[in-house]
Chain A
Amino acid sequence: GAGVSQSPSNKVTEKGKDVELRCDPISGHTALYWYRQSLGQGLEFLIYFQGNSAPDKSGLPSDRFSAERTGGSVSTLTIQRTQQEDSAVYLCASSPGGPSYEQYFGPGTRLTVT
């Protein structure tokens, strides 16, 4: 079956512009996660959606970052007024939910802020 997909694969934007990154999780997966990987770093948790519960936003680095998940499926991560330090690979993952820790990752969106 189809895995997690993300779009765009690459995004170059000017400092101060807003960007939207999209994630299509695996069908039926109730949990969805956003992470980012800066150069030479591990993956950093950003936000987590589980079913209809309020999202866990504890990893969002600033109020310029927001995310939503419509209809329990597709998710959009929005970064407003982008800064150069926002440059990273943004990775989305989904999982069946419940007690499973195993997450299935998409290929990521490489964001470059110039």
Chain B
Amino acid sequence: DQQVKQNSPSLSVQEGRISILNCDYTNSMFDYFLWYKKYPAEGPTFLISISSIKDKNEDGRFTVFLNKSAKHLSLHIVPSQPGDSAVYFCAASYMQYGNKLVFGAGTILRVKS
């Protein structure tokens, strides 16, 4: 049972345009959500997070939106740059789960110049 789902395996976007990566979850206990970015042969690196008490968090070109009623979150990258090309993982957790993260399968983002 996949508790965190990233239904788009890949996404291709033109440089300068917006990239929107989506993530759905099923466990209503989740209260913290994170996005990680992964380059080939490297470990995932933390990008941005959001607590369930918020519906938006912004950090530079990256914004995460949370829709709790729909159990959906999205990562917006504006403007997209070629260096953003990577695999993006959505992850979720809740305090009683001991800070362990449940990851989605990832979305490959390609930003074309």
Contact = CB atoms under 8 A, between A and B. Distances in A.
Interface of A: 4, 31, 33, 35, 40-45, 48, 50, 56, 59, 91, 93, 95, 99-108
B4 A42 contact: yes
B29 to A, nearest CB: 14
B60 interface: no
A8 B44 CA distance: 18
Interface string B50-66: 00000000000000000
What class of interface size applies to chain B in its complex with A? 20 to 34
B45 interface: yes
Contact of A42 (B34, B42, B104): B104
Given A31-B99, A95-B99, A101 B93 contact: yes
Contacts of B102: 45
Given A31-B99, A45-B100, A101-B49, A107 B43 contact: yes
Interface string B18-43: 00000000000000101010000111
B100 A91 contact: no
Contacts of B93: 101
Nearest to A110: B41
Contact of A101 (B32, B44, B105): B32
15 contacts: A42-B105, A43-B44, A43-B89, A43-B101, A91-B44, A93-B43, A99-B95, A100-B99, A101-B34, A101-B101, A103-B46, A103-B99, A105-B44, A106-B43, A108-B43
Contacts of B4: 42
Contact of A45 (B89, B101, B105): B101
Nearest to B5: A42
Contacts of A40: 105
B32 to A, nearest CB: 5
